[in-house]
Structure 1
Amino acid sequence: MKLIIQIPCFNEEETLPVTIRDIPRKIPGISEIELLIIDDGSSDNTIKTAKRLGVNHIVSFPKNRGLAEAFKAGIDACLKLGADIIVNTDADNQYKGSDIPKLIAPIVNGNYEMVIGDRKTDTIDHFSPVKKFFQRFGSGVVRKLSKTDVPDTTSGFRAYSREAALKLNVVSEFTYTLETIIQAGHKKIAVGHVEIGTNGKLRESRLFKGMFSYIQRSAKTIIRIYTMYRPMRVFMTSGLISASIGTLIGIRFLFFYFGGSGGGHIQSLILAAVLLIVGFQLGTLGLIADLISSNRKLLEDVLFRVKKLELNEHSNNTKEVIQKVKNNKIS
């Protein structure tokens, strides 16, 4: 069984050596362990450092594209390199490499297809009380929407089986952490979690400028992804709320109208009509969005099959090249 550990990097010349030194080179049940770096347009010597440290594979972007794009490129490269299990970790040494065997064990044993490391964020000293609160609140929202029991949904220390990695399609340009959990939950991928340790902070986070910026962008991601998978519920609920309020206001107008003072409440009639129309339109949009969602599911199934065919062909071509090289050496 082949394990590839991918590490997205952006100007990680100083922290990368610490991260790589902490990664185990032998794990029970794993025959091959390789490292893959995704250099996200670094302006320092990240690539040179990675080569010096003996990293097996390097994917390099000429310009910074963001964490989500780096993650997607890493997953794609790992699959083409024949990974049976993919571990994603951060280059700032936030996560302990010694926990990788614990992280992948449920996948090796066949219990889960996707495993997320639980940092126990309430115990992390350098997390402020406000950050701890929003971590708990945000994780609770994602658990409910994804129907999973992952306690630390923003953890970037996670493992994927080959099959799970093939099924995930990241569309966010911000971060993959929340999106992949919601996707996995709705695609019936078996998601588990294990408790992990964390190291001391080596640098400040570069993913967002501040806590409220992160909350805002995360909220947008959650709403967008959930709407993709449950459009009928989102639009129908919104439509029913609008129509219900409109109906109540309309009943209020009728009460005054039959009481002989309806002329002074024309605004209520107009507002009720607008809300009822909006409610009807939202319900109609829900039906249309549900049809689009059904087509998207079919397209995702086709994409999954195409990926498998492409990777099988790539694997066969690689085997043919290796065999030719061996034959030439023998002759």
Structure 2
Amino acid sequence: MPETNQTGLQTGRQAGCQTGRESRCPQLLTHGSGSILPDIYAEFTHPHPTRLLPPIKLIIQIPCYNEENTLAITLSELPREVPGVDVVEWLIIDDGSRDRTVKVAQEWGVDHIVRFAQNRGLAKGFMAGLEASLRAGADIIVNTDADNQYCAADIPKLVAPILSGQAQIVIGARPIQQIEHFSPAKKLLQRLGSWAVRVASRTTVADAPSGFRAISREAALELNVFNEYTYTLETIIQAGQKGMAVMSVPIRTNGYLRPSRLVKSIFSYVQRSLVTILRIFITYKPFSFFMWLGSVPFSLGFLLGVRWLVLYFGGTSRSHVPSLILSAILILIGSQLWVVGLLADLLAVNRKLLEEVQLRVRRREIESGYSASQSSASQSRESQSKKNPEQP
């Protein structure tokens, strides 16, 4: 059963998984990509000794779909206190569950619940969680799974690089070779998939499919997920191509509770992952992709053309016209692919401009919405205090 604090709110912590809270002296948050809030808090060049920074809020989000059997176990190990963080809140995304998932979340005192009327997929749920967390004022967002496969006691390890300004996104790297229920084929594919993501994203992420990750507020504002299957690979490649600071930290895993719902078959997962990697790479590097792709037929056509010239001027009796025609076709195909790459690159520039506009609009909407909710809550507390004045 979940334990209850003095106010009657069920906290859902186990004694062995509680994280001690350290007292912090006021610190400065400066501008730059390393700061967890580069565009929210200004740099204090001459701070007053007693001036305190606004509290740092961490929201732990959990996408859920029919998780009544495992959600309570997961929530029981989530921390309510994390070193360097002032406020820790929980959020679940109910992806159209037909069981008691929401009821279990309410029993364990989950602070925020996002509900879908029908199942929309993991990627949609992840993005809805980010949006809700940002609107709730999260400075850092930690994503974990409802099957309790990740050790919640490692959340401080995910958050620490963001607090120190070393990273904007931190991925928890599982000990893949030590996970007993992973087959040898799955372990090999995990390594190959992570290598492909590292190449496409220009990052050093060790475990790309890991869903245990921490994201700064600014990074969450910039992320967009187009794939409807999963968010894990796409967000890493997108973050790397956008120049975000991405890093990995080793984490621990818990026991096996249920089979993966995402990986129904190895072949299907590999196929979808390859399509995702290829699609996001073309989105952000179209010119490079089509230049290399067009170079193959163009080079073959050029070599065939040289061969035809050698034979033609060599005085052979045969005309070798088919070789000349094939050479022209291949050169034309290669040239067309280069033109497509050039046009796609121009569209990519336009997409980047639109992303900048989207970022500004999203930041303004979320910040204004959060300020309005804080003002409303403050007015509600003031009204309540006036109705119930303290007795002398």
- For the superposition of Structure 1 and Structure 2, which TM-score range results when normalised by the shorter chain? over 0.9
TM-superposed CA distance for 1:149, in Å, is: 0.6
Find the aligned partners of 2:312 and 2:189 in 1 and give their Cα distance. 48
The aligned counterpart of 2:209 is 154
The aligned counterpart of 1:58 is 113
The aligned counterpart of 1:87 is 142
Tell me the amino acid that sits aligned with residue 15 of structure 1: T
Find the aligned partners of 1:26 and 1:320 in 2 and give their Cα distance. 25
Question: Does residue 319 in structure 1 map to residue 377 in structure 2?
Answer: no
Q: Which moved more, 1:56-65 or 1:250-259?
A: 250-259
Q: TM-score, normalised by structure 1?
A: 0.97
Deviations 1:155-210 (A, max 9, x none): 00000010111111111111111111111111111111110011121111111321
Q: What does 1:192-231 correspond to in 2, within 5 Å?
A: 192-231=247-286
Q: Which moved more, 1:311-320 or 1:281-290?
A: 311-320
2:309 to 241, 254, 275: 254
Deviations 1:61-115 (A, max 9, x none): 1111111111010000000000010000010111011111111111122211110
Q: Which moved more, 1:13-22 or 1:265-274?
A: 265-274
SS at match of 1:172: coil
The aligned counterpart of 1:49 is 104
Gaps of 5+ in 1: none
Find the aligned partners of 2:240 and 2:80 in 1 and give their Cα distance. 32
2:339 to 284, 288, 291: 284
How many residues are treated as equivalent by the alignment? Answer: 331
Question: Does residue 269 in structure 1 map to residue 298 in structure 2?
Answer: no
TM-superposed CA distance for 1:263, in Å, is: 4.3
Contact 1:153 1:177 in 2 (8 A): yes
Contact 1:118 1:194 in 2 (8 A): yes
The percentage of aligned residue pairs carrying the same residue is: 54
Find the aligned partners of 2:96 and 2:116 in 1 and give their Cα distance. 5
Find the aligned partners of 1:18 and 1:114 in 2 and give their Cα distance. 26
SS at match of 1:33: strand
TM-superposed CA distance for 1:37, in Å, is: 0.7
The aligned counterpart of 1:100 is 155
Tell me the amino acid that sits aligned with residue 128 of structure 2: A
Contact 1:254 1:262 in 2 (8 A): no
Find the aligned partners of 2:263 and 2:317 in 1 and give their Cα distance. 54
Find the aligned partners of 1:253 and 1:156 in 2 and give their Cα distance. 56
SS at match of 1:302: helix
Residues 141, 262 of structure 1: alpha-carbon distance in 2 compared, 3 angstrom cutoff? farther
Tell me the amino acid that sits aligned with residue 370 of structure 2: S
Find the aligned partners of 2:356 and 2:371 in 1 and give their Cα distance. 23
TM-superposed CA distance for 1:124, in Å, is: 1.4
Find the aligned partners of 2:97 and 2:320 in 1 and give their Cα distance. 64
Tell me the amino acid that sits aligned with residue 260 of structure 2: S
Question: Does residue 73 in structure 1 map to residue 132 in structure 2?
Answer: no
The aligned counterpart of 2:359 is 304
The aligned counterpart of 2:43 is none
TM-superposed CA distance for 1:262, in Å, is: 6.9
TM-superposed CA distance for 1:212, in Å, is: 1.0
Residues 262, 94 of structure 1: alpha-carbon distance in 2 compared, 3 angstrom cutoff? farther
Deviations 1:101-142 (A, max 9, x none): 111111122211110000021221111111111111111111
Q: TM-score, normalised by structure 2?
A: 0.82
Question: Does residue 34 in structure 1 map to residue 89 in structure 2?
Answer: yes
TM-superposed CA distance for 1:269, in Å, is: 2.0
Find the aligned partners of 1:237 and 1:46 in 2 and give their Cα distance. 49
TM-superposed CA distance for 1:272, in Å, is: 1.3
Tell me the amino acid that sits aligned with residue 234 of structure 1: F
Tell me the amino acid that sits aligned with residue 294 of structure 1: V
